[in-house]
Amino acid sequence: MARRPTIIDVARVAGVSKSTVSRVISGDDLLVREQTRDKVLKAVEQLGYERNAVAGSMRTNRTFTIALIIPDIANPFWPEVARGVQDVLSPQGYALVLACSDWHRQREQEYLAMARRNRFDGIMINPAGLTNDELQRSRMPVVILGLGGGSFDFDAVGSDSYTGTTMALQYLVGLGHHRIGLISGQSSRMAPSSRLASYIEFHRDRGMSIDEQLIVECPFDQECGRQSMQQLLAASPVPTAVFAANDILAIGALHAIHEAGLRVPEDISIIGMDDIYAVSVTTPPLTTIAKHKYDTGKRAATFLLERIQGPGPPEPRRYEEACRLVVRGSTANPP
């Protein structure tokens, strides 16, 4: 097996010192003449030299590695967030390590330990069970993804799901719906659901009665959405519209309605939340509350880089992305 070229080999081919090569490949080359810099870069290309990140981290105390810890890799919401993160980090030379916790606190603890052990420069996390103290003890820059997961002393970026829920309910009431079901997603977090809180507040503010039959809490997956919709269909009377806490639940609800021989939106209207690609190609395409997933990832990565490269603002920042209503074919006036 051929030996990997070293910084010494580059210096020999370029006819310069090892320290000069080091300055050029690390970007600290302001005092290096342009002609000398070109020689070094040509030698690097000729030899196929690649910088040793491990050795470099010992000198700079940087590994240029970031962890992105998410709860559900199967949810199409997260790839768009990850793309936004990557598009900010990659031009700055950072590698992204993706980890999925499946909503398990123990896995989050293991990933946090891995990040510390491998001297990652920072983490972005949508925490299911990790506490503020545990993240503080990691002594790494942290950005929280999401705004409803409890109280954290870190920068946080997420969507205004509370107002987004109100927006969905206002739209349904405007169509004439007054008996509206809620499929409220349930995670392992201790914090209350912002969708459920918004649903209750919306009804109380307008003097609308709250029927407990019309509120179902379940984990954020499609089968649970289907089962929850079956439960709502057993209510008496049946709701004329349903708001699902995310699009995965809404797709499951759509299947349950079709299985029951009913039609959307002629018999029941459905609204989801997130605006993942799949809801634009269902039958019918689903009305939803859209979140700016890519922008959330970009903002979170920008905040993290600012914390890594400098002290950043003295107080944690909380950035809330506004949601928007996307009307498609799953909503109409009540029958």
Q: What is the 3-state secondary structure (H, E, C) of 72-95?
A: CCCCCHHHHHHHHHHHHHHHHCCE
Q: Is residue 306 part of a domain?
A: yes
Q: Is residue 56 part of a domain?
A: no
Mark whether 150 and 238 lie in a shared domain.
no
Answer whether 141's CB lies under 8 Å from 122's CB: yes
Mark whether 155 and 95 lie in a shared domain.
yes
Q: Is residue 17 part of a domain?
A: yes
Q: Is residue 327 part of a domain?
A: no
Q: Is residue 326 part of a domain?
A: no
User: Which helix H or strand E contains 326, and what residues bound it?
Assistant: strand 324-326
- pLDDT attached to residue 188: 58
For residues 273 and 256, give the distance between their C-alpha atoms in angstroms, rounded to a whole number. Answer: 18
Rg over alpha carbons for the chain, rounded to the nearest Å, is 25
Mark whether 258 and 285 lie in a shared domain.
yes
For residues 290 and 114, give the distance between their C-alpha atoms in angstroms, rounded to a whole number. Answer: 34
Answer whether 244's CB lies under 8 Å from 215's CB: no
Q: Is residue 98 part of a domain?
A: yes
How far is residue 286 CA from its own chain's centroid?
Answer: 21
- pLDDT attached to residue 58: 44
- pLDDT attached to residue 312: 83
b/e sequence 275-292, b meaning 16+ C-beta within 10 Å: bbebbeebebebbbbbbb
CATH number, domain with residue 21: 1.10.260.40
**CB proximity list for 309: less than 8 A, separation 6 or greater:** none
Answer whether 278's CB lies under 8 Å from 247's CB: yes
Mark whether 135 and 193 lie in a shared domain.
no
The residue type at 149: G
| Domains held by the chain: number | 3
Mark whether 166 and 286 lie in a shared domain.
yes
- pLDDT attached to residue 115: 92
Give the angle subtended at the CA of 217 by the CAs of 214 and 220, to the nearest 5°.
130
Mark whether 187 and 263 lie in a shared domain.
yes
- pLDDT attached to residue 60: 52
pLDDT per residue, tens digit, the chain (335 aa), is: 567 788 888 889 999 998 888 888 766 667 788 888 888 888 888 888 776 554 454 455 678 899 999 998 889 999 999 999 999 999 988 999 999 999 899 999 999 999 998 889 999 999 988 999 999 999 999 999 998 766 789 999 999 999 999 999 999 999 999 999 999 987 655 566 899 999 999 999 999 999 999 999 998 899 999 999 999 999 999 999 999 999 999 999 999 999 999 999 999 999 999 999 999 999 999 999 999 999 999 999 999 999 998 888 889 999 999 999 999 999 999 98
- pLDDT attached to residue 82: 96
- pLDDT attached to residue 134: 93
Mark whether 198 and 224 lie in a shared domain.
yes
Mark whether 121 and 215 lie in a shared domain.
no
Q: Is residue 11 part of a domain?
A: yes
At how many degrees (to 10) do helices 7-14 and 18-26 cross? 110
Mark whether 93 and 152 lie in a shared domain.
yes
- pLDDT attached to residue 65: 93
- pLDDT attached to residue 61: 61
Give the domain extent around 195. 161-291
What is the largest distance, in Å, between two alpha-carbon atoms of the chain?
A: 85
Q: Is residue 332 part of a domain?
A: no
Long-range interactions of 100-103: CB distance < 8 A, separation 24+: 100/69, 100/70, 100/71, 100/72, 100/73, 101/69, 101/70, 101/71, 101/128, 102/71, 102/72, 103/71, 103/72, 103/128, 103/129, 103/187, 103/188, 103/219
CATH number, domain with residue 219: 3.40.50.2300
